Amino acid sequence: MNKIYNSRGRAAFFATGLFLAFTVFSCSKTVDEPTASINNPSTLDENAGTWKPYILASSSEVPVDEPKAATSAEYIAEIAKLKETMAGVTPQQRDQINYWGAGAAYRWNEIARELAARYNSPPAVNAEGKYPVPDAANPLADPKFPFANPPYTARALAYLSVAQYDALVSAWNYKFKYNRKAPSKIDASIKAILPVSDLPSYPSEDAVVAAASYTILKAMFPGEIPFLDAKLAEHKNSRLLAGMNVESDIVAGSALGNAVGAKVMARAKTDGMGAANNQAKTADMIANALKIGISQPWKSQEFPARPPMLPTYGSVLTWNFNTATVATLRPIAPPAIGSPEYEENMNELLSIAKSQTREQARIANFWSDGVGSYTPPGHWHRKAATLAHDNNFSEVRTARTFALVGTAMQDAGICCWDAKYYYYYPRPNQMSSKVKTSVGLPNFPSYTSGHSMFSGAAAEVLAHIFPSEKANVDAMAVEASVSRIYGLIHYRFDCEQGLATGHKVGNYAVQRAMTDGAEK
């Protein structure tokens, strides 16, 4: 062989290798997330001031003063100040304007989901072999408060959504009562950065949502007050920078949002959540389960055994039906352990444990929504947010969607926890060590599946609000439900009963939706 040729070939080969190695993939470490476009509502929903609120007796329960007239010296001064503010908009501020322009309730729902994920960490065992209970008075200690598990997150998102909705229904009442036009409609020299509709600008719907959301979230996530302070200020400021509101629109909106938020939080303080972790009740629950024929009640599979998650959450106050209804929604008893039906369900799991397909693993992972995630209620709130945004819903209709879905999901969680601790049914993993999970084993009884109940309820409501999406959301709920079989933590009967009951629970919210005044 020609030696010179050979050595050239070698060098070329080497250089090619280097080139390939460093160019086959992009060196950028930036991950692109789906971006939400600026919301441009297709309707004003002028009569939303007549929609039925959840907590407020009426949309005029919290008074809002009449604004100064557009011809007043005060207003003219505000407009002048607004122009000054707008003159100095930086590129970074423009990004903030566009960010919040995707929708106020949309963004605060997203923020809440992020907080839920950050706080979704089960306490670590301490040196004494105990699991310390998070302390609301010391939220950043170890363990952090809250442990934003699915029942906690379902509740936090329900309150957030209800506060946003009630505050916006009030805001709409005053908007159309006082009819103050948007600054750019009063002074044509103001070129607003976001789309301007005929929606009256007083009180500011963004300030209303920001203040109401802030009030709920600082109570639900007390360790995040500095983070929430910054979001609140940025949101309100973005509306001035964008030329969408004058200062008095924002001030009135903040006052209204704060007042409604406080009224909604008053319910939260007395809804029974403070007593939802009553571990003293579990001995009676286990005794009851044995009495009704559950021969091997649930036991924690963790080392050391961890007390079960929120055993008395089933007694927390419901939204769309009264507390007495919870027991009537309790599903039929699960199959007796050892019965043919039980064995059949167990065999399905043993077979998946042996030969889980990649597609089954994918479905289980997609819906896992476990530790460090925004939980199944967060997953469905995200779906609701996407649908409301894609359908160009107004601010108030978006909040209504969240409130209907959010309250339905907390109701589903309450009913599910009631059933879980009534039957105290063992997880398949307790019954056979051959069943190991590909998603993480929840530390509470099996029957029924929480994912299935949350998903059934959410799909029921979303299918009502977005009829063309019915097939899609129903299929999603079925997939979320069976994902727990594929992930090897639930029997099929847990999932089927849970999904059916979830749909029933969701229907209560649908009944409300048909009579709340928004579908006239």
Interface ranges with other proteins (CB under 8 A):
6, 10, 13-14, 17-18, 20-22, 24-27, 29-34, 110, 113-114, 117-118, 121-125, 142-144, 301-304, 353, 356, 358, 361-362, 365-366, 368, 371-374, 379, 382, 429, 436-438, 440-441, 488
Q: Which is nearer to other proteins, 218 or 383 (CB)?
A: 383
Q: Which is nearer to other proteins, 79 or 349 (CB)?
A: 349
Q: How far is the CB of 428 from other proteins (least distance, A)?
A: 10
Q: How far is the CB of 208 from other proteins (least distance, A)?
A: 25
Contact assessment for residue 445 and residue 403, using Cβ atoms and an 8 Å cutoff? no
Q: Which pair of tokens denotes residue 150?
A: 């699915």
Please enumerate in sequence order all residues whose Cβ is within 8 A of that of 319, keeping only pairs 6 or more positions apart, or say none. 54, 158, 162, 407, 408, 410, 411, 509
Which pairs from 144-147 meet CB under 8 Å and 24+ separation? 144/119, 144/223, 145/119, 145/222, 145/223, 146/119, 146/220, 146/221, 147/119, 147/120, 147/121, 147/122, 147/123
Q: How far is the CB of 109 from other proteins (least distance, A)?
A: 12
Q: Which is nearer to other proteins, 40 or 366 (CB)?
A: 366
CA distances to 367, 368, 483 from 439, rounded to whole Å, are: 9, 6, 10
Q: How far is the CB of 267 from other proteins (least distance, A)?
A: 28
Q: Which is nearer to other proteins, 170 or 429 (CB)?
A: 429
Whole-number Å distance between alpha carbons of 366 and 456: 17
Whole-number Å distance between alpha carbons of 253 and 160: 16
Q: How far is the CB of 421 from other proteins (least distance, A)?
A: 21
Please enumerate in sequence order all residues whose Cβ is within 8 A of that of 427, keeping only pairs 6 or more positions apart, or say none. 298, 301, 441, 442, 445, 446, 489, 490
Q: How far is the CB of 407 from other proteins (least distance, A)?
A: 23
Start-end of H helices in 295-432: 323-328, 340-355, 358-366, 375-390, 395-423, 428-431
Q: How far is the CB of 381 from other proteins (least distance, A)?
A: 12
Q: How far is the CB of 254 from other proteins (least distance, A)?
A: 26
Q: Which is nearer to other proteins, 239 or 383 (CB)?
A: 383
Contact assessment for residue 164 and residue 54, using Cβ atoms and an 8 Å cutoff? no
Q: Which is nearer to other proteins, 382 or 470 (CB)?
A: 382
Q: Which is nearer to other proteins, 1 or 73 (CB)?
A: 1
Q: Which is nearer to other proteins, 130 or 436 (CB)?
A: 436
In 3D space, the residue among 231, 233, 241, 243 whose CA is nearest the CA of residue 88 turns out to be: 241
